[in-house]
Structure 1
Amino acid sequence: MSKDDNRNKLKYVIVSPRNNGGGAIVLHVLCKYLNALGYEAEMFYSGYFSKPGIFFFWYKWIMFTIKDLWKLASAPLLAKMFKRYYFNYIDVPIRGLPRKYLPWVDDNTIVVYPEIAKGNFLKGKHVVRWLLYHHTYKDGEYDKEKDLFVCYRHVFNDHKLNPKEITLCCPYFNLDLYKRTNFGERSATCYIVRKGRNRSDLPASLDGIIIDDLLEQEKVEVFNKCKYCISFDTETAYSRIAALCGCISIIVPEPGKSVSYYRNEYNKRYGIAIGFTDTEIDYAKSTIGLLQKEHEKMNETSKNSVKDFTEYCCKHFDNKLGKD
C-alpha cells in the first residue's frame, strides 16, 4: 500500500469532555479543521476519563450517553428555564461537528486522547495523546511503545514522552464575539479562577464577579464592563480575551515564580500583565495592539498546525493501518 493510499484511509476520533472549557474547545477545533482538510473525523464524548475496569467503563458510558441524549433532545424546550443544567448544550463555541456514538473504532482510526484521559478505553490501535496541560500519567495508563505524544504548547511538554517536541497548537478565537464594545468609563474588577482553584494564595473571597461559570456571551459582557480582570489561572486563554475586550488583564504569578517564567520566547503574553507592578501594567497597555494582530493571524496558523499534524501522523503510522 502506498503512502497516498494510507493517507486516504486515515480516520480520526477525538475524545473530549462535554464542556466549553479551553481544552474541549481546541479538541473541537481539531475535528473542525481535520474535516476541512478532507479527513473523516468525529467527536466522541465521554463522561469518565480515568482508567476504569471494563465493566465500570461500560456502566459509566451507558449512563453518560443516556443523560447526554436526553439533554440534547430536551434542550430546545427547557434550556431557557434551566440554563445551568443545560450549560454545555446551549453555549457551544463550535457546532455542527460529526459525532461518534459507539465506543469502538476500526483498525484504520487514529484516536486522539487529551492528557486527562487515562488508558485506551476505545481500544484504538493507533493512539495520539495530546498534552493540553501538565499531565499526570502513571505506568499502565499509556503504551510506552506505541502511543504518539504531541503537546499543545512548549510549557506543557514532557520531553521523556515527546522528545522531538511535536506540537499541535490550534487555538480558536471568535473575533466577532471577543472584542471591545465599551470605550467609556470602567471601574469594576472581575476574576478568573479555573485551574487556580487549588492555589495556596487564592483568597477566601473575591470582591468581584468570577467569570468561570458564565456563558460565553456573559463573559464578554462582564469583560466589557470591568476595568481589571485578575486571573489565578496562569494559562487560561480568557486572560487574552479579557484584554481584547478592554480590560487591564493581570495574571497573579504563582508563589516563587518570576515574570520571566511566564513571559519568554515561546509566549510574549502581549496585552497581559504578570503581577501588579507599574511596569507590567504599562506593558499590558502598550502591547494590546500586538495581541490583536496576533489573534488575527491565529486562526490561519491553527489550520496549518493541524495540517502539519496530519502529515506527521501519516508518517508515524505509515504501514500500520489496518494491521494488527
Structure 2
Amino acid sequence: MIYARDVTKYPNDELRFVIYAPRYRDNSGGAIVMHKLCDVLNDMGYSALLYPLWKPLSLPSALFRSPRMTFAYLLARAYRGKYATNAKYNTPLAKQRDIQGSIVIYPEIVSGNPLRAEKYVRWLLHRPGFHEGHFKYSPGDLYFCYQEAFHKNCRDMVHGGSLTIGDTLLDIYKQTNYGERIKTCFIVRKGRARPDLPDLKHQWVVDDLSHEELAKVFNECKFCYLYDTYTAYAQYAAICGCIPIVVPLPGVTKEQWVPEEKGRLGVAYGESDTEHAVTTRPALLCFMQETSKKNREAVAHFVEAVKKHFKT
C-alpha cells in the first residue's frame, strides 16, 4: 500500500482531500465509487488520500465516544486483514497528520465529524438513514448527492449539486449471447428488508457471484428482477443483453424512484416498462462509454463548489 505525503506534489495541491472510505470490495458500489473518486481527483492533479472508515484517531478516546463503531472496525481488521484498495486506482492512504489542512469527504452513513476535520463535506451515496437507521448532520454542512433520489433529510444544509462517479467494468460486462434466452435470475442485496420481498427459495438468486460470474449469468438470462432499487447491477445486466426489471417500491413512481432520465436508461421499473429498457439500451451503452469524461466533469464541478463554499 502507498502512503502519502511522500509522493510528488500535485499541480493543484492547494486543495487536498481525505476520503473517509470503506475498504475496497468489487461487489460494493459505495466502496467502488469512493475509491474511484480518489483516483480521479489524483488524476486531475489534486492530492487525494483514503482514510479507512471507522478507523479511530485515538483508540482509547474512540472506545469511549463510539464503542460500537470502534469494535466493528477492530473486528473487521482482525477478520479481513489489512485495508484493501484497488491496484488499478491511484489511492494512497492518509495518516492522521494528513487530515489537518485537508477537506474530508464523508459518506452519508457517517454522523458528525469523527476525524475532527476543520473542513468537511458529505457525499450522499444513498438516502440518509437507509443503512444505519439514524444520522446526525449539522446546519450549514456542504453536501453532494450521487443521484437526486438521495436528496433527502438535508434541511438547513448547503447543496453543492450532484457528484456521480462511476467505473463501468465494460471489460467484463458485455453482450456475448445474441441468441434465444429463456432463463430468469433475481438480485436482492439491499432489498432484503423489503416487506414485499417474496419467497425466492426456489429462484435463481445471484447476489453472491463475482463480476465475471454475473456477466456470464446476464448473458444467459432474458430477465433479471431486482429488489435492490439502486444498484449498478441493473445497468450491467442491460449491457449484457438481459432485461433488468427493478421491482417497484410500493407507492413510489418511476420519476420518484430515479428523477433523471439518464439514470433509467436500459432499465425497466416494473414489468410494464420492459419496452423502455430494450429501446434505451443502446443509449445506456453510449452513456457508459463516456464515463471517464463524465467523471472528470463531475469532479471539476465538485471542486468548484468546494472552493466557493470554503472560499479557498
Paired with 1:24 and 1:114, the residues of 2 have a C-alpha distance of 10
Instruction: Give the match for residue 219 of structure 1.
Output: 214
Deviations 1:18-53 (A, max 9, x none): 23311111101110101001111111222579x974
Q: CA deviation at 1:104?
A: 5.7
Q: What are the residue-to-residue correspondences of 1:55-74 with 2, within 5 Å?
A: 56=67, 60-68=72-80, 70=81
Match of 1:17 among 13, 19, 22: 22
Does the CA-based 8 Å contact 2:246-2:268 persist in structure 1? yes
Structure 1 residues 268 and 148 mapped into 2: Cα distance closer, same or farther (>3 Å)?
closer
For 2:87 and 2:98, the matched residues in 1 are separated by: 26
Structure 1 position 194, deviation (Å): 1.6
Q: TM-score, normalised by structure 2?
A: 0.82
Question: Larger relative CO (CA 8 A, sep 6+): 1 or 2?
Answer: 1
Per the alignment, do residues 172 and 213 of structure 1 end up closer, same or farther by CA in structure 2, a change over 3 Å counting? Answer: same
Query: Which deviations, in whole Å up to 9, do the C-alpha atoms of 1:46-93 show, x marking residues without a partner?
Result: 2579x974373655545544554x357xxxxxxxxxxxxxxxx69x59
User: What are the ranges of 5 or more consecutive residues in structure 1 without an aligned counterpart?
Assistant: 1-6, 73-88, 320-324
Secondary structure of the residue that 2:112 maps to in structure 1? coil
- Of 265, 271, 279, the residue aligned with 1:276 is 271
Aligned 1:286-297 pairs, distance under 5 A: 286-297=279-290
CA contact (8 A) 2:142 2:159 kept: no
CA RMSD of aligned residues (A): 3.0
Q: Using the TM superposition, give the Cα deviation of residue 232 of structure 1 relative to its aligned residue in structure 2, in angstroms.
A: 0.8
Counterparts in 2 of 1:224 and 1:71: CA distance versus 1, 3 Å: farther
- CA distance in structure 1 between the partners assigned to 2:183 and 2:156 by the alignment: 44
Segments ≥4 residues shifted beyond 6 Å: 137-140
Which of residues 172, 179, 202 is equivalent to 1:177? 172
AA partner of residue 221 (structure 2): C
Partner of 1:233: 228
Q: Does the 8 A contact of 1:196 with 1:234 survive in 2?
A: yes
Q: Distance in 2 between matches of 1:35 and 1:222?
A: 35
Distance 2:144 2:220 in 1: 38
Structure 1 residues 93 and 208, CA gap change in structure 2 (3 angstroms): farther
**Residue type at the aligned position of 1:148:** L
Matched, 1:54 2:65: yes
1:33 match: secondary structure: helix
Q: Indicate conservation of the 8 Å contact 1:128/1:149, yes or no.
A: yes
Secondary structure of the structure 1 residue equivalent to 2:104: strand
Q: SS of 2:162's equivalent?
A: coil
Which one is further off, 286-295 or 55-64? 55-64
Q: Secondary structure at the match of 1:8?
A: coil
Matched, 1:39 2:46: yes
Q: Is the 8 A contact 1:13 1:111 kept in 2?
A: yes
What TM-score do the two structures reach when normalised by structure 1? 0.79
Distance 2:45 2:173 in 1: 29
Query: Percent same amino acid at aligned positions?
Result: 35
Q: Residues 240-286 of structure 1: CA distance to partner in whole angstroms, max 9, x if unpaired? A: 11000110111110112233433644546121111112xx2222212
CA-CA distance at 1:307 after TM superposition: 1.6
Structure 1 SS opposite 2:224: strand
Note if contact 2:139-2:157 (Cα within 8 Å) is conserved in structure 1.
no
CA separation of 1:222/1:169 partners in 2, compared to 1, >3 Å: closer, same or farther? Answer: same
CA distance in 2, matches of 1:130, 1:272: 25
